[in-house]
Amino acid sequence: MDAAAAAPTPPQADVFARYFRHSRRHRIVVCAECCTAVVPKHAAAHLARNHGRTTKEERRHVQRYVDGLEDVAREVSDVRFPGPDDPPYGEIAVQYGGLRCAGRDPDGRQCRYVVSTVRKIQSHCQEVHGWRNEQKRGGNVKQKRVQTANRMWDEGQAYQQFFTKPSWKRNTPITVPADGGGDGDPGQDAVELFDRLLTQREADGGQRRQRRTIQGEGGRQEVSPWLRFVAWHVHLAGFDRGEMLLT
């Protein structure tokens, strides 16, 4: 088929906005349905694996759009994870009951390692901070519960899991407002709203460009018989109506 006669493809930004959100603050792309950050180069693979209703063409558009995005971390070291006093990022689910290491990093700050099982937190504390479990096996179990446990972690930590890919996976401790949500941090809310509006604006802009562009054969609008006879809709396919009116 003649390239000029092919129906225009949907804008990449529009397709991206159906399935993902882009956080410039954290430099990540998040699946809107799964509520988890996705490794940028695996955006199309994520859709194919978890959202079978998407078409191959849609996945290709999404991947090309993500590949061209600025303010996106291509390496996990470039992700801007929330700080210990930051509110949760609204597009990712908050999990509760995490175990956070109480050890200190070389800079004197509290370690930010968070997991959901005692086995993992014990292993971390032993390997990274030299912790030793002083609780002996056997004995009076009831009495042991009364005694102060020789543990090096805090319970009940709220956290967010930003990725599921093992090499990118991070459980990040966060601070949840005392009322369980509330209005959150105005600055954070404003940044997230800006991200959503900018993504939507890019998608809307793509739709407007598509409407302005003259369509060739296969376009949805019916071409008049006279225009079809002189074949102008084929020769002018791809031109911008507004620019042509100015010339």
59-103: per-residue pLDDT in tens?
999 999 999 999 999 999 999 998 877 888 889 989 999 999 999
- Average predicted confidence (pLDDT) for the chain: 76
Measured at the CA of 26, the angle between CA 23 and CA 27, to 5 degrees, comes to: 70
Q: Write out the H or E segment, with its range, that includes residue 153.
A: strand 153-161
Distance, in Å, from the CA atom of 43 to the CA atom of 62, rounded to the nearest integer, reads 7
pTM equals: 0.60
Q: How far is CA 206 from the centre of its chain?
A: 21
pLDDT exceeds cutoff 70 at 235: no
Statement: residue 30 has pLDDT above 70:
yes
Contact 66, 43 (CB under 8 A): yes
